[in-house]
Structure 1
Amino acid sequence: MSLVSLAHKRSALCSLSRCLTQSSLWSRGFASLPEPISDDQAPVNSKDGKVLHPDLLNEDFVGAEYAVRGELYLKGEELRKQGKEIIFTNVGNPHALGQKPRTFNRQVMSLVMCPTLLDHPKVAELYPGDAIARAKQCLSYFSGGLGAYTDSRGSEGVRKEIAEYIERRDGYPSSPNQLFLTDGASPAVRYMLNAIIRNDRDGILVPVPQYPLYSASIQLLGGRLLGYYLREDSNWSMDIPSVKRQVAKARADGIAVRGLVFINPGNPTGQCLSVENLQDIIKFCHDEDVVLMADEVYQTNIYQDERPFVSCKKVMMDMGEPYSKHELLSFHTISKGALGECGLRGGYVEATNIHPGTIDQIYKIASINLSPNTTGQLGMALMVNPPKEGSESYAQWKEEESSVMDSLRRRAQIMTDGFNACEGVSCTFTEGAMYSFPRLDLPQKAVQAAQKEGKSPDTFYCLELLEDTGILTVPGSGFGQEEGTLHLRTTILPQEDQIKEVMNRFQSFHKKFLEQYS
């Protein structure tokens, strides 16, 4: 047979294959048209000339709420545009409130971002030698530089550094292939919730008070949020009986309990969980077949020595089998700690004891976005592998790190003491994270005034505080709170030359508020 005949035969076979493939897709309903329906059955597609009318949007999209940038934030922006000074203590955004970036990190990032600087004849005069060496190492992780896509899980070199960091922290192996880098920890949380939640009969246990990322994401994905209360009277510790009650109630209602979230150190409550607390929740999740979701993004924000941060993975592995084989998803980010690099959007999830087939599926979904942003990945590498002791940049890096953490400890104490000095306000000490969550005992007249305006009492209080002082906080109702209690959340992030003034303004306002409504 001639080469021409072979070519024609191969072409015909390829055409037949394409036709069979298309036929198979059509037979399964792929791209097929629905059966005709009558006019009175047709869904309403537009209103007032708009397909995207608010009344016609996805119900879960409309139902999702995010209090950290909700009504209070919008009001604060409105007042700011009118010329009022606004102190944004509503969100953990350290650089926006004056925290400076680490010098070494920025030096390395500038060289990686603009690698031609490495060939400049005076580069050794402008940059320390270890920053130059680190930049060259990091550049080797990004084929094509920061402007090119990486593996959908993130650069293998960066993932290896993170795995080594986790192993140093916990004393147990970590695999780069079980790490997925993301644009901040929030997308990682959403990835995992998306995998866990199958329909509206699947529930996720979330601590109350909770970070509204979880309530909003669960709503968007069509799942059920199952809140379990933390114990304020014991410094916001986990209350296992509360978890068990919630699980029993959910199952009685036909809800499949699929995952349990805990935040350690806590947001918005600032507590650090004890090893005993972690052991209890690991045992519970193992016994009840519930996936553990460990939000540990504040793990370096610790302001007391009595209860250091211990990762859930370490506790679980220390417990041995069968607990060391339990499914665990652990989250971390560069947005917190002494770095506070919120804008770089770097984070990861470590998937421990997760089925290999599920890892493949997560990889597939990550591939839809092609790759996480490369500057965030670079930031993660610099976070987990800082200058070594004895290196040229170590002394400056250590001084900057210690300065930030020591200052945060002092600010945590200033906020706690300041709130507790106010009549009708009580606040547990901020052991970790970046927030204070004081409890408010408001006069009945204030509660009635709030009801008259159709607002929750804590929202009413926070709006009054904002308009009077410019301090932007978040009402406790945005995080969830036990019935009959009222709180607000504020960061401890204003710099020390400002935070005393912030507290003075708060105390002055609170006194006037009580006088007005008593």
Structure 2
Amino acid sequence: MMDGFTATAKKVLTLDTMNPNVKKVEYAVRGPIVQRAAQIEKELAQGVKKPFTEVIRANIGDCHAMGQKPITFFRQVLALCLYPDLLEDNKFPEDVKSRAQRILQACSGGSLGSYSTSQGIELVRQDVARYIERRDGGIPSNPDNIYLTAGASDGIVTMLKLMVSGEGPSRTGVMISIPQYPLYSAALADLAAVQVNYYLDEEKCWSLDISELQRSLKEARKHCSPRVLCIINPGNPTGQVQSRQCIEDVIRFAAEENLFLMADEVYQDNVYAGGCEFHSFKKVLFEMGPEYSDRVELASFHSTSKCYMGECGFRGGYMEVVNLDPDVKLQLTKLVSVRLCPPVTGQALLDLVVNPPQPDEPSYHTFIQERTHTLAALAEKAMMTQQILNQVSGIKCNPVQGAMYSFPRIQIPPKAVTAAQENGQTPDMFYCMKLLEEKGICLVPGSGFGQRDGTYHFRMTILPPTEKLKIVLVKIKEFHQSFTQQFS
């Protein structure tokens, strides 16, 4: 035993000695509501009587956890990649076998268990570049500008790490939409960057107004150095789809104000509303001509976790960088090399997403059928969510144009606001916690995403199966009516 050692020796790592930035990190979609939901599930399993028989989690965009079926082609190819002996099995279509062999040949040692290069398997990056070119009508994409990532989140955080510098008034400011996806606020808190809020217009279906960007930027320049503008399109949690005109306006604004653009486009296949269409920032940027395409710096992100795939657990994704300074690009490559490589199973899945079965291949019919069914079901549930919630007095839900969520505004009576304050909670946290305890419905309060002062919201996913989603919506309707009556 070391001299002087005592049983009362203090811990090296305490709340006082740990990184103070970590204590500022909050992540609403896995916050106190979700932790309480897990406790209630255990209580139900132990036989504790509740006014409901199950907790329905509508708090997070976890497609398969909500019952969405995997795409057969993806899982078949991955099964063969993970267990190549199945290549001898005649149950699998020939295009599945050839695709698995192609991916395995691109892996070191012919195994998904090998590390890849830090930027990602070259074959997959080439396929991603071809996918982007097809999506954007032939605008070139260079595989060397593609970085494969562990979901889009990994790429977003990596780029923010590159951006943040300075102290005091020179500290990097990052403009994020309010409401926002809490990844952004959490990452900025962790990096001690300055969060610069700009507000989406709820009265105009969560649209983005350039005058609001200008107001936000002007205010921020008084206390930090804004360098980055983050856009989520289609929106999370708000479900809006930006018009092409809006995207052009944003690009002009970024060019005029010398801002780096980060475009989170993980819901690009999730567009439901008539008259709405996804336009990539990359495509619009290049169609605006060299005045913009030669100088606006852009990083765009996509993921295997959303759209019709919903393969959250595989952690697959990519980012494409445009007009990045060559010296900075070397630093980016160095930074991603620290984590060795993205998950190789996620890279394999991504390759299938960007290079799906073709019309002359045996898996094509089933693939198209499954893809179409999944997206059609989401579109139906988006419409149903909006219609049912808008029938409730005191709830207003904008059209769910895209993505996987609704973000309804709720009226909370003054007595409930007071009760929440006495309970040390925000009013919408108080509301959502009571909904969970009384109805077994797990939602996320709008305060976790940001909202204008004096307004209250919740975010719910539209992912549960149609019949279960109807139950969720009816229970919310019943709860809101009784909650309003209780605190009126």
**TM-score, normalised via structure 2 length:** 0.94
Which deviations, in whole Å up to 9, do the C-alpha atoms of 1:373-429 show, x marking residues without a partner?
A: 100001100111111113211111111111111110111111111110111100001
Deviates more, 1:328-337 or 1:53-62: 53-62
Shift of 1:302: 0.7
Match of 1:138 in 2: 103
Match of 1:222 in 2: 192
Match of 2:317 in 1: 347
Which deviations, in whole Å up to 9, do the C-alpha atoms of 1:31-69 show, x marking residues without a partner?
A: xxxxxxxxxxxxxxxx97212212322111101111111
Residue 64 of structure 1 aligns with an amino acid whose one-letter code is: V
Shift of 1:199: 3.5
CA contact (8 A) 1:163 1:174 kept: yes
User: Please, which of 257, 261, 271 is the counterpart of residue 230 of structure 2?
Assistant: 261
User: Please, which of 237, 258, 262 is the counterpart of residue 289 of structure 1?
Assistant: 258
Residue 239 of structure 1 aligns with an amino acid whose one-letter code is: D
Match of 1:179 in 2: 146
Which deviations, in whole Å up to 9, do the C-alpha atoms of 1:109-136 show, x marking residues without a partner?
A: 0111111222x3xx22x10111111111
CA distance in structure 2 between the aligned counterparts of 1:155 and 1:305, rounded to whole angstroms: 38
Shift of 1:104: 0.7
Residues 1:82 and 2:43 are matched in the alignment: yes
Match of 1:392 in 2: 362
Shift of 1:305: 3.2
Shift of 1:106: 0.7
Secondary structure class of the residue paired with 2:362: coil
Residue 271 of structure 1 aligns with an amino acid whose one-letter code is: Q
Match of 2:302 in 1: 332
Deviates more, 1:133-142 or 1:150-159: 133-142
CA distance in structure 2 between the aligned counterparts of 1:410 and 1:469, rounded to whole angstroms: 24
Secondary structure class of the residue paired with 1:267: coil
Match of 1:168 in 2: 134
CA distance in structure 2 between the aligned counterparts of 1:129 and 1:370, rounded to whole angstroms: 33
CA distance in structure 1 between the aligned counterparts of 2:411 and 2:85, rounded to whole angstroms: 60
CA distance in structure 1 between the aligned counterparts of 2:290 and 2:113, rounded to whole angstroms: 45
Report 1:82-161 matches (<5 A): 82-83=43-44, 85-118=54-87, 120=88, 123-124=89-90, 126-144=91-109, 145-161=111-127
Shift of 1:252: 2.0
Shift in alpha-carbon separation, 1:135–1:462, aligned structure 2, 3 A: same
CA distance in structure 2 between the aligned counterparts of 1:113 and 1:67, rounded to whole angstroms: 35
Deviates more, 1:51-60 or 1:494-503: 51-60
Residue 189 of structure 1 aligns with an amino acid whose one-letter code is: I
Residue 188 of structure 2 aligns with an amino acid whose one-letter code is: I
CA contact (8 A) 1:335 1:343 kept: yes
Residue 226 of structure 1 aligns with an amino acid whose one-letter code is: V
Secondary structure class of the residue paired with 1:54: coil
Residues 1:195 and 2:162 are matched in the alignment: yes
CA contact (8 A) 1:184 1:345 kept: yes
CA distance in structure 1 between the aligned counterparts of 2:331 and 2:398, rounded to whole angstroms: 42
Residue 287 of structure 1 aligns with an amino acid whose one-letter code is: E
Residues 1:427 and 2:397 are matched in the alignment: yes
Secondary structure class of the residue paired with 1:237: coil
Secondary structure class of the residue paired with 2:200: strand
CA distance in structure 2 between the aligned counterparts of 1:504 and 1:231, rounded to whole angstroms: 28
Which deviations, in whole Å up to 9, do the C-alpha atoms of 1:227-249 show, x marking residues without a partner?
A: 00001111111121111111111
CA contact (8 A) 1:438 1:489 kept: yes
CA distance in structure 1 between the aligned counterparts of 2:424 and 2:379, rounded to whole angstroms: 38
Shift in alpha-carbon separation, 1:77–1:199, aligned structure 2, 3 A: farther
Secondary structure class of the residue paired with 2:227: strand
Report 1:228-307 matches (<5 A): 228-253=198-223, 255-307=224-276
CA distance in structure 1 between the aligned counterparts of 2:98 and 2:486, rounded to whole angstroms: 63
- Higher relative contact order (Cα pairs below 8 Å, separated by 6+ residues): 2
Secondary structure class of the residue paired with 2:221: helix
Which deviations, in whole Å up to 9, do the C-alpha atoms of 1:8-27 show, x marking residues without a partner?
A: xxxxxxxxxxxxxxxxxxxx
Secondary structure class of the residue paired with 1:180: strand
Residue 106 of structure 2 aligns with an amino acid whose one-letter code is: Y
Which deviations, in whole Å up to 9, do the C-alpha atoms of 1:165-201 show, x marking residues without a partner?
A: 0000112111111111111111100100000001451
CA distance in structure 2 between the aligned counterparts of 1:87 and 1:362, rounded to whole angstroms: 41
Residue 206 of structure 2 aligns with an amino acid whose one-letter code is: W
CA distance in structure 2 between the aligned counterparts of 1:497 and 1:78, rounded to whole angstroms: 25
Shift of 1:250: 1.5
Report 1:413-492 matches (<5 A): 413-492=383-462
Residue 141 of structure 1 aligns with an amino acid whose one-letter code is: A
CA distance in structure 1 between the aligned counterparts of 2:319 and 2:214, rounded to whole angstroms: 27
CA distance in structure 1 between the aligned counterparts of 2:467 and 2:82, rounded to whole angstroms: 34
CA distance in structure 2 between the aligned counterparts of 1:425 and 1:492, rounded to whole angstroms: 17
User: Please, which of 335, 338, 342 is the counterpart of residue 368 of structure 1?
Assistant: 338
Aligned residues: 467
CA distance in structure 1 between the aligned counterparts of 2:9 and 2:186, rounded to whole angstroms: 28
Match of 1:51 in 2: 12
CA distance in structure 2 between the aligned counterparts of 1:190 and 1:157, rounded to whole angstroms: 25
CA distance in structure 2 between the aligned counterparts of 1:251 and 1:278, rounded to whole angstroms: 23
**TM-score, normalised via structure 1 length:** 0.89
Residue 128 of structure 1 aligns with an amino acid whose one-letter code is: P
Shift in alpha-carbon separation, 1:396–1:217, aligned structure 2, 3 A: same
Match of 2:5 in 1: none
Deviates more, 1:138-147 or 1:283-292: 138-147
Following superposition, which runs of at least 4 residues in structure 1 exceed 6 angstroms of deviation?
none
CA contact (8 A) 1:199 1:222 kept: no
CA distance in structure 2 between the aligned counterparts of 1:103 and 1:268, rounded to whole angstroms: 29
CA distance in structure 2 between the aligned counterparts of 1:458 and 1:65, rounded to whole angstroms: 16
Match of 2:47 in 1: none
Report 1:12-27 matches (<5 A): none
Match of 1:14 in 2: none
